Structure 1
């Protein structure tokens, strides 16, 4: 991941720019184009994505760091299964990180910060989930306003890495109406807690928000598996 001195930046291009080799491999892993535990050979990847071997090798290293790829001595790289356990592990970490980052933000938040959060939330509500990719961008912007200035860059960068992983996975599944309502209401609750300088309340809302998002993804993954199983011949 690249970053400026104060603001976390995505490791790859924005959604409306051409995809990098890293993004294309990640998308093919998440979408199931590569089967779980499938071998990933640099030469084959370079040919598949019409690039040289160096970008393919660098992409594998980045994907390894994010947990999408497993590398073993003398066996090379293989695809890590993207399953409910994978999402659960990430969520359990985020439930610890995000409330802590939020508590600190409450201690430094200004009226201008709150106005920025409200403006970002207004955009989210105006869109009303009509464009999944755009919603993901706006939702990320909302949370970045809270986490970007934190002094613990390791924690903030880990949040960003997990955020990108979950966003990539969640693009495969629809967002239920109940989850949509929860997202909007939890954001408003969070803004209210920050405005009231109530760090405990803000941390509690964020923890519930993270757990709810993770639970929704896991439920959608399970539903997709059941639907796929029902289509197989008996």
Structure 2
């Protein structure tokens, strides 16, 4: 279960104790980009980040390169590092990959899915419905992961985690700009019902449609400006 506030509070305590490691800096900046605290195009100056995270410039540089690989940061030849822009092509690729990976994970997980796992996902859904938009991406990823963990496929789950992180900034944007929360919540409840019935066909159909619909709405929003 992911609690973004406790993650950041813990993160802050770690920084005060031993300075910013690469992992600390990646986690902190990723959270700020996903939550919208750092907007697309915002400059990421290494000297400023080194001061903020109480680190030398080397871990800051390494963290920015890792975030570049995740699609959160881009390097411009004459302007340094910046928060990567959002784009329709990026959304399309992320959500196509999510459908393939997450439907596979759910199909493998369903025979091992216990009522406890489903109850955990339902509890996360309750939190989603009262959480601010800035926390939606992290809580949504936790909701989905609760249903996939019984698959017992660590490589697949790590791949899904990477895609979820990339999708989170877009999902938070959808909740704010597209008023998408109501539809997403209803689709989550449909998925939970199908999982409780152990109806594989219905569960996979609900999941694929849920991810595809969100991706299409985001692509349309980005293409129309």
Which residue pairs with 2:29 in the alignment? 24
**Superposition CA RMSD, Å:** 3.5
Determine which structure has more spread, i.e. the larger CA radius of gyration.
1
Which residue pairs with 2:165 in the alignment? 164
Which residue pairs with 2:7 in the alignment? 14
Greater Cα offset, 94-103 or 78-87? 78-87
Aligned CA distance change for structure 1 residues 194 and 147 (closer, same or farther; 3 Å): same
Aligned CA distance change for structure 1 residues 65 and 210 (closer, same or farther; 3 Å): same
Measured after TM superposition, the shift of residue 70 of structure 1 is: 6.1
- TM-score (norm: length of structure 1): 0.70
Measured after TM superposition, the shift of residue 146 of structure 1 is: 1.2
Structure 2 distance, partners of 1:213, 1:91, is 8
* 1:60-79, Cα deviation, whole Å (9 max, x unpaired): 2311331335689x99x866
Whether the aligned pair in 2 keeps the contact of 1:30 and 1:169 (CA below 8 Å) is no
Write 1 or 2 for the structure with the bigger share of helix. Answer: 2
- TM-score (norm: length of structure 2): 0.72
Which residue pairs with 2:19 in the alignment? none
Structure 2 distance, partners of 1:70, 1:121, is 33
Structure 2 distance, partners of 1:136, 1:203, is 21
Aligned length: 203
* 1:105-163, Cα deviation, whole Å (9 max, x unpaired): 211112222222333323334x1x6x113443432321121123433222211211121
Unaligned runs of 5+ in 2: 16-23
Structure 2 distance, partners of 1:21, 1:121, is 29
Measured after TM superposition, the shift of residue 94 of structure 1 is: 0.8
Moved over 6 A (4+): none
Measured after TM superposition, the shift of residue 57 of structure 1 is: 1.9
